[in-house]
Amino acid sequence: MITLGIEGTAHTLGVGITDEKCNVLANVIEMYRPPEGGLHPREAANHHTDIVASTISKALTDAKLSLKDIDVISFSKGPGLGPCLRVAATAARALSVRLNIPIIGVNHCVAHVEIGNATTGCTDPVLLYASGGNTQIIAFANGRYRIFGETLDVGIGNMLDKLGRELDLGYYAGPTIEKLAKEGTELLDLPYSVKGMDIAFSGIMTSAVALKKKGHRLEDIAFSVQETCFAMLAEVTERAMAHVGKSEVLMGGGVAQNKRLRGMIETMAKERDAKMFVPLPRLCIDNGAMIAWLGHIMYDSGVRMTIDDTKVEQRFRTDEVNVTWR
């Protein structure tokens, strides 16, 4: 069974194709980069609209398949930015109706977990999902994927991008901040913002910008921001693992590419006899293959949707998903 999945929750329009064994036959990722300033949902959606047809064609070419080979269409139903979600949903509906094949709308966060389960060898992890728009700690408990901790304001990637703009480091500044942080030597004082199992980042950003105005080196600011924020993530991830009694931690999202964050999570995992898993980079960031794969396992477990069921949900919560496949 071949599934074509369309991702479109935020800056990335992705089209992936998987088979029933989670072989990734294609995984085309097209990321919108704003010419200046931050991500505007409408402009990102216009980007997705312009390229969605050609991206589907490219994925089919990469997979050496044609549309008639596709058995199921899936798409990211949420959570995400409304205009972007609607592009992916509209393209998926059009294909489903035109080809007369089933359509499945999937939860983007659960897709990060399931592609990790299928491709890294973990079986029942706590997911640390750290991306631009989302920062959540997710685990399967009592029949559902549940959120055990999350950001109370912005996603960590979003905060790093905003900080990058304030410090003139350009957009999608995470990799630049990671590079600068390697040269940092002084741990500067920043608010350590863990509230119960939740975390907050915007106060850290405000404080980091103030440190720049006081004349501190960019390297030390980047180092201090990483050390503080990643320690917060490691703390809540560890407490979630202890609470649900799991010995695997899975990384997901664009910020999971950061080697310092991985290093901290790996150390934490080792100290509690647990194991860390990280999907391949192109399956860790937002991508269509994970959407295709979750669409496949949902369909395979008996889930069916009509076109009326495919309305996008900007605030689609992880624990709203009825997990029929475990």
Q: Which residues bind Fe ion (CB under 5 A)?
A: 131, 286
How many CB atoms neighbour CB 50 within 10 A?
14
Q: Smallest distance from the beta carbon of 211 to Fe ion, in angstroms?
A: 30
DSSP strand pairing (24-31 vs 198-199)? unpaired
Identity of the residue, 127 or 218, whose beta carbon is nearer to Fe ion in the bound complex:
127
How would you label 205-216 residue by residue, b for 16+ Cβ within 10 Å and e otherwise?
Answer: bebbeebeeeeb
- 131 or 158, CB closer to Fe ion? 131
* Token pair 């703390």 in the structure block, residue: 235
Specify the residue, 131 or 207, whose C-beta has the smaller distance to Fe ion.
131
Minimum CB separation from Fe ion for residue 127, in Å?
Answer: 11
Q: Which is nearer to Fe ion, 131 or 193 (CB)?
A: 131
Nearest to 144 by CA among 325, 324, 319: 319
Helix (H) or strand (E) holding 198: strand 198-199
Cβ contacts of residue 47 below 8 Å, gap of 6+? 13, 30, 32
Cα–Cα distance measured from residue 59 to residue 69, given in angstroms and rounded to the nearest whole number: 13
Q: Which is nearer to Fe ion, 101 or 171 (CB)?
A: 171
